Amino acid sequence: MQTTGSSATSSDEKPDFNSWVVAVWQVVQDIPRGCVLTYGEVARLAGSGGSPRRVSQALRQAPTGMKLPWHRVINSQGKISFPAGSQGYRQQKTRLEKEGVVFLNGRTNLQQFGYSGAIDRLLWGESV
DNA sequence: TAATTGACCGATC
DNA sequence: AGATCGGCCAATT
């Protein structure tokens, strides 16, 4: 039952990159409201076999019916990765601000709205 | 089949 | 602070 090559594990199933994509979806789905995560962090949390660039691709491939909180994923600079002024940019920024995420000069404070910031808030309360 | 693209990242200048 | 560069690797052209 050697696959003699690549993929086609069962019938028409794609390579295990597909399962990594699913892992990415699960990670993103698990991002708490009002928090953000960088593409790099999502890639790392989803396990080995992927890279930050692949995360963006996974998000684009995600079915709309899944209602994935894709807007909680931003780049390592704390900025939205859509072209400034584009429709996607505005939608993402609007959704995040609606959740309490603050933008200063078009970028968020990762120390405050990242997972570390979320933990700090749980420990220290709103006084951070 | 080869070349290009991309919701990125880190180092470097 | 902002711009550039190489690496990453599946999907698209």
- In tens, the pLDDT along A35-94 reads 999 999 999 999 999 999 999 999 999 999 999 999 999 999 999 999 999 999 999 999
Residue nearest to nucleotide B8 (CA to C1'): A53
C-alpha torsion angle, residues A16, A17, A23, A29 (rounded to 10):
-140
Tokens 């910031």, residue? A117
Least confident stretch, A42-51, A59-68, A99-108, A112-121: A112-121
Contact assessment for residue A115 and residue A121, using Cβ atoms and an 8 Å cutoff: no
Nucleotide nearest to A38 (CA to C1'): B8
Q: How far apart are CA A62 and CA A32, in angstroms?
A: 19
Estimate in Å the CA A44 to C1' C11 gap, whole number. Answer: 21
Q: CA A79, C1' C3: Å apart?
A: 17
| Residue pLDDT, tens place only, A1-16 | 343 344 444 445 567 9
Average pLDDT over residues A18-47: 97
Contact yes or no for A34/A100 (Cβ under 8 A): yes
